[in-house]
Amino acid sequence: MRLFLFFGALLGHIYCQETFVGDQVLEILPRDEEQIKNVVELAAEDHLQLDFWKSPTTPGQTVHVRVPFVSVQAVKVFLESQEIAYSIMIDDVQALVDKENEEMLFNQRRERNGNFNFGAYHSLEEISQKMDELVAEYPDLVSKVKIGYSFENRPMNVLKFSTGGDKPAIWLDAGIHAREWVTQATALWTANKIASDYGNDPSITSILDTMDIFLLPVTNPDGYVFSQTKNRMWRKTRSRVPGSLCVGVDPNRNWDAGFGGPGASSSPCSDSYHGPSANSEVEVKSIVDFIKTHGNIKAFITLHSYSQLLMFPYGYKCTKSDNFEELNEVAQKAANALKSLHGTSYKVGPICSVIYQASGGSIDWSYDFGIKYSFAFELRDTGRYGFLLPANQIVPTAEETWLGLKTIMEHVHDHPY
């Protein structure tokens, strides 16, 4: 086993792929404000190179952190010295990454016979190919709209589902954070579902007879490619930051909604770096420009992972939005529909109270722009695998998420404004 790990690490270095041999993900449970403060101080120790998957919020709420092998002992000693409870959530991150890679390779071989497997993770190229196939298979309903190019010049392709004419629309995106692979996979499954259900499912047929749906499966294409070829844990874009050796901006801290406020970092090396200015990221600006030009988007829904949450504004401030009651009711209804399939429980509420204050997020911008129905999903799981959700959970995740999405879309359809 050790030998296998050694060769895995060796191969990783040959292909310049970052490895996580011996890295652990710890689940930490701070019991009071003092312990939260200790964990926050730990996070500030740059030399430990900690990667927080779930940040410290309030006492009694778990924190998830990937600890590099070289820092594991130091972190455990610190937690024990402060009497902060913790357990090992993932014993060896690389073991999960290796399994994921093997499954992807196996699936690529299997798909050579032409059958696309929605229950597998795919490269950007494979996702693009499948999008083209959907356009070819459903030419009267599905078309491809290029809304711009990423920093590294990859096309940002949106699927447009439309029965023709000038209609109000629903916006849906996924994969703004590169490493959240279940979101891109869920979005692709969803695209296929919308296309195949039109004319068969009365609800979707009725929605598409009066509204268009725009779906962007890979919002951060450069980051996604980088997460598949170089560093599985990459979250940000790949833009170059003037005057810094660190690369990339957190695209979900880059929107013009309380930009640069709490919950975003001004340090270019941070995973939540907000960027030099609002909309500095071409990926964000392309969506903003598209939505402004369209002028009739009635819902804005974004898919993230993980934590099983369904949230609505605000994140950049902790005050209730004007439409709090309605948004809360719709989200509760959607979460109930989602739960009805596999029993997956979602927590519902405004971003600021469900997770933490976070500025520069997409749904805060869309809501302030006038798109009342603005929602963010955090898909499976609650931490057993985190960002490394096994591929056999893609389809169940997509199926249940679909019931939540459909509930929201039905409400939007029935409540024009």
Catalytic residues: 378
Residue 360: other Cβ atoms inside 10 A: 29
What is the rounded CA–CA span in Å between residue 347 and residue 310?
6
Give the three-state DSSP class for 322. coil
What is the rounded CA–CA span in Å between residue 227 and residue 224?
5
What is the rounded CA–CA span in Å between residue 201 and residue 204?
6
Q: How far is CA 89 from CA 67, 201, 386, in A?
A: 11, 41, 9
What is the rounded CA–CA span in Å between residue 255 and residue 279?
6
What is the rounded CA–CA span in Å between residue 74 and residue 150?
39
Element (H, E) at 41: helix 33-43
Give the three-state DSSP class for 8. helix
Q: Order of strands across the sheet with 24-29?
A: 51-54, 63-67, 24-29, 85-90
